[in-house]
Amino acid sequence: MVRNQVMDAIKDVQSKDAETVQVKFRVIDASTVQVLKAESPNKGLNEEVKKAIETQSYLLPKKLNGEYNLKITFK
């Protein structure tokens, strides 16, 4: 459920080649998400994913406080 909503939140981040970004983030409250780590060889994509998750955090369910790991593959 969380994975689908985060994927929706970053749907406008695009890459020409298939690329995977490992993301670790913490849901602090209903409107605050802190990205702890976004890792892939593409530093620019890491920053885009980090910004997209933090700025679209209102799409996440309100009662999901905690830390999550997410693997996102762009094709």
The alpha carbon dihedral of 11, 5, 21, 47 has a sign of positive
More confident position, 66 or 26: 26
Question: Whole domain around residue 31: which residue ranges?
Answer: 2-74
Query: Is the confidence at residue 15, as pLDDT, over 50?
Result: no
pTM score, whole prediction:
0.58
Q: State the first-to-last Cα distance of the chain, in angstroms, to the nearest integer.
A: 21
- Maximum mean pLDDT: which of 14-23, 33-42, 52-61: 33-42
Total number of domains constituting the chain: 1
Contacts of 16 (CB under 8 A, 6+ apart): none
Only one residue has tokens 């490992």, namely: 22
The C-alpha angle with vertex 30 and arms to 49 and 54, in degrees rounded to 5, equals 15
